Amino acid sequence: NDSYKSSCYCKAHSWLVSLILSQKCESILKFSIFFFFQSSDFLFKFLVIGNAGTGKSCLLHQFIEKKFKDDSNHTIGVEFGSKIINVGGKYVKLQIWDTAGQERFRSVTRSYYRGAAGALLVYDITSRETYNALTNWLTDARMLASQNIVIILCGNKKDLDADREVTFLEASRFAQENELMFLETSALTGENVEEAFVQCARKILNKIESGELDPERMGSGIQYGDAALRQLRSPRRAQAQSAQECGC
């Protein structure tokens, strides 16, 4: 009976080893490598704001999944998405919040805005009404998130040029006057979608590097990622810190 048990253990063990070595485990291994080694330097909270129907959920979906979300349900959508991007050699994890229908009732809460570092402010190039609403969205973002929030204006549905109601020139003037970056995007074709998020993240990084933004300030919408924390905990920094603490 004992020898039967040990042969079973032996078989289970060799099965486990062969499973680990088999190709089936390749994806698990890849995932673990990504999980353990692709750590981020920073984490930014992002918002996607603008009138309902402008394509905010589709932009988020296109950015995360790299495909167009073609079910047109407004309320059921991605409410939250996150993605790590490489910006000039730094890994930045974006935590992106989508209003997911709340904008219809103008009940986007204060907590939704709180501590956001960046935002995509979206209008629809085929709808002047959505463009006219931009000032209100902008006021809310600057008042409820932060005066320093970095905003990129996105004129979405660029693919529907024939139905355009807002010219590129007009919107770029608005962006300039209000210190916004500006791009026309298409969540349908994917044009400029990744660029919008990356440009916004790059501007935030530049502001951190120039000292204009302090990631350690409460509510900055920025956190150090695990890679940066490892650097912060490096021996040289620890030495400097202990020297400061002991007053030598």
Report the residue number whose CB is nearest to ligand GDP.
55
Residue 187's binding partner among ligand GDP, Mg ion, none (Cβ under 5 to 8 angstroms by kind) is: ligand GDP
Residues numbered 39 to 78 that lie near Mg ion (CB under 5 A) are 56-57, 77
Q: Which residues contact 237 (CB under 8 A, 6 or more apart)?
A: 231
> How many residues line the site for Mg ion (CB under 5 A)?
3
Residue 72's binding partner among Mg ion, ligand GDP, none (Cβ under 5 to 8 angstroms by kind) is: ligand GDP
How many degrees, rounded to 5, is the angle at CA 200 between CA 88 and CA 123? Answer: 150
Burial grade of 169 (CB within 10 A; 0-12, 13-18, 19 or more) = exposed
**Binding region for ligand GDP (CB under 6 A):** 52-58, 72, 74, 156-157, 159-160, 186-188
Shortest reach from residue 166's CB to ligand GDP, in Å: 14
> Of 146 and 156, which CB lies nearer to ligand GDP in the complex structure?
156
Can you read off the two tokens belonging to residue 212? 């204009």
Shortest reach from residue 138's CB to ligand GDP, in Å: 16
> Of 41 and 103, which CB lies nearer to Mg ion in the complex structure?
103
Whole-number Cα distances in Å, 14 to 10, 21, 22: 6, 10, 12
Shortest reach from residue 18's CB to ligand GDP, in Å: 47
Alpha helix (H) ranges present in 142-211?
168-177, 193-209
Phi, psi for 82 (deg, rounded to 5): -140, 145
Shortest reach from residue 160's CB to ligand GDP, in Å: 5
Q: Which residues contact 6 (CB under 8 A, 6 or more apart)?
A: none
Assign 36 to helix, strand or coil.
helix
Shortest reach from residue 61's CB to ligand GDP, in Å: 7
> Of 42 and 131, which CB lies nearer to Mg ion in the complex structure?
131
Name the residues that contact Mg ion, by CB under 5 A: 56-57, 77
